Amino acid sequence: METGRRETRYSVDRDVLDEKHLEEASRRVENSDNQSLCAHLRESLRCSVPRLKRNMVSCFPILYWLPRYSLWDYGMSDLISGISVGIMHLPQGMAYALLASVPPVFGLFSSFYPPLIYFIFGTSRHISIGTFTVLSIMVGSVTERLAPDQFFLVLNGTNLTGEVNTEARDSYRVTVAATTTVLGGAIQVILGMVRFGFVGTYLSEPLVRAYTTAAAFHAVVAQLKYVFDVSPKRFIGPFSMVYTLIDLCSLLPQTQVATLLVSLVSMVVLIVAKELNSKFSHKLPVPIPVELIVIILVTVVSHWAPAHHLRRGCCWGTSEWAPTMPDASIFKQVIGDAFALAVVGYAISISLGKTFALKHGYKVDSNQELVALGLSNAAGGLFQCFSVCASMSRSLIQETTGGKTQMAAVVSSVIVLVTVLKLGCLFHQLPKAVLAVIVIVNLKGMFLQSCDIITLWRSCKIDLLVWLVTWISTVLFNLDLGLVISITFALMTVIFRTQLPQYSVLGQVPGTEIYLDMEMHKEVRSVPGITIFRSSATVYFANAELYLEALKEKSGLDITKMITYKRRQDAKQKRREMRAERRARRQANREADENGGDGGAVFSVEEEAEHWKEKELQESPGEGEPEWRGRENGTVFVMPARPNASGTWEYLKCGDPDSATLGSTSGLEGDTTTLASSCDDTLSRDLERVSLGSLGKWTWDIHSIILDLSTANFIDTVAIKTIQNIFHDFGEIDVDIYLAGCQTSVVEQLERGRFFNHSITKGHLFASVHDAVLYCLNHKGASTAPSYECAVNMRCNTRL
């Protein structure tokens, strides 16, 4: 049952406030950003005990929450959550190591060291740091580019064939992956220290989802060679995935049937078990570790199966626990990939962190998260780890199983450590095909993101375009170049949307101080004599010229022609005044002729004009252009059909007597009324009722234009000059310009840009559009619109 909303009314009784009086009333203080560099430096170097404590807690968040940790409240929940996440780390770490083209043990290393570092420096309580699909694929593209198989061929002297030295290849690939990870971590730390945490905001949600969806396609293609047990060629550069698929199809006849069978059975088991996990998640205390169970079962089957039926290829790899320095000689070759890893990893982690923080009511520091993730990668890279970030699947498990703090990450790291030290030898017989299947099945969520196309088609076409461009460029041009193209295109859409905003003329909602777009709302009405112009975006160098053109178009005024016409009219008026003075001096010496030679009816304007010209030349020969005695209203010249008598009036269209055409009040039909008064005031009032459109294009009834700048959050020098030109150009045709709704920062920028002078003062800036409207109506619009109803009554003592 619908309930009626109780109406609440309010009444405002105040003076119209321009910027000058608003600053006096509010006592605006000086912005601290205007302080000198030395003052900022002194403030940043000032030290105190509270500030030191605050900085220490900011750099080491563990100092804040660990002393307050309660084993009774959080201990059991973090233990269960840590065990669940640790069990997931095992299969995912080994499987994603294949994506990075390194031995599986290094995937477990990447699941052990980085979470411990993040435990100390991170601010999120629920995200799980470790291996992630997209970053593993990006690392794999680097390792396979710098360490392809053909670089490690050992030729056989008898038949000139070669075999790959896998031990040397894997060792160098680990070095490349660790070096790239250290460099990417260093980039993240530097960006975090210079407070560059907002960089992740440039990766919008459609861009990130499209990028991860495209990365999922790369991951599947990379794992197909293990599923079919074939060895396709390694392609690099644009369209490499297309070439790889073509090569895979050509190698399908060589598929190992036993490997394919194990892969298909494992895939079916994983899909069914995951669906059951999802369906009965509310009844299960922890999810069933399906991946780990499948790995154990397939390892047992592989151990007892004949070697020629099922190829065993999960080389555990040899490694040392001691830290190793990165290879600085390849920094130049991997700097671009490292930056891409840093940005993508941070964007994924901060989005997950903020999601859980919003859900559980705590705050995540974006800059500290960047530092924490960078230290996790940099320190992990020293221990031969590859790039890591937060995982969505593990983070959801950590949160849904009751995890409260990052203590759960410590428990999961212990699980991984025990596996590496005591259980690693058991996985020597594990086929890589099973790990490949685990990767493919875990990509289901990313493939489902393709449904975003339907949602974005209905909601926002520009976001859909960003999604499609990101997906296509990433699939065709690989992950690194695809990311550059995607970010560039996304930024271009922002530029185009600010460069081509929506311009509108506002009208008043009757009886209120609210002003809305007249084209979008039927009930709003225009304010007589006033044009209220608004742009949906801020005015800056890229759209300043378009802003001016849109203002001219929306106001219906051709400024260039009107200024030229106005100047001609002013010059003619001066000449008329001079001739009138001369005639007055001559007339003082003659006898006034009341009737003159003006008898007879006027049948046409041309005829009467010619008659007046001849008389003027007789009275003052050689003195220039004759005087037009007709009534001039703006740019419409009117004269009586019978001088000095009431009757019908005729007028000149187009305003300019040199190019005018004859018209009469009878020809205006319904657009006008007959002007039947010789009184100037009566004539003026009658002319106000004449349709402006029928009186020619040089007629305008706008006396004020209000620029609504409430949407502007900054203004640059180009925009300032443009607005100054607007004041000057419209001022030449006697149209006043006012600004309304300027934010304080915009006013300060106008002050620094020397916008204000003797002709443009803060009296031209008003607190709101309605303040500006009331001011214009009170000072210029009263005579043109005496019956206009305002939401707030005007005061006669409005300050000037």
Q: Give the pLDDT of residue 506.
A: 93
What residue type is 94 in one-letter code?
A: M
Angle between helices 205-228 and 452-459 (to 10 degrees): 160
Segments of the chain scoring below 70 in pLDDT: 1-6, 30-37, 39-41, 43-45, 155-162, 200, 305-321, 424-429, 558-562, 589-700, 781-800
Q: Give the pLDDT of residue 781.
A: 54
| Model pLDDT for residues 327-377, shown as the tens digit of each residue | 999 999 999 999 989 988 998 898 888 888 888 888 888 899 999 999 999
Beta strands in 70-198 (DSSP E): 128-130, 153-155, 162-164
Cβ neighbours around 576 below 10 Å, total:
16
Strand partners, 18: 766
Q: Give the pLDDT of residue 31.
A: 63
Q: Give the pLDDT of residue 593.
A: 52
Tell me 239's DSSP state. T
Q: 0.75 exceeded by the pTM?
A: no
Pairing of strands 736-740, 704-708: parallel
Instruction: Residue 691: name the closest of 642, 651, 648, 731 by CA.
Output: 651
- Spatial contact of 625 and 640, defined as CB atoms under 8 Å apart: no
DSSP characters over 23-41: HHHHTPPPPGGGS-HHHHH
688's CB contacts (< 8 A; 6+ apart) are 784
Q: Give the pLDDT of residue 594.
A: 52
Q: Give the pLDDT of residue 599.
A: 46
* Nearest-angstrom CA–CA distance, 774 and 780: 10
Q: Give the pLDDT of residue 311.
A: 55
Q: Give the pLDDT of residue 700.
A: 57
Q: Give the pLDDT of residue 121.
A: 94
Name the token pair of 181: 């990870």
Q: Give the pLDDT of residue 232.
A: 85
Q: Give the pLDDT of residue 782.
A: 52
* Nearest-angstrom CA–CA distance, 423 and 401: 25
**Burial group, residue 147, by CB count within 10 angstroms (0-12, 13-18, 19+):** buried
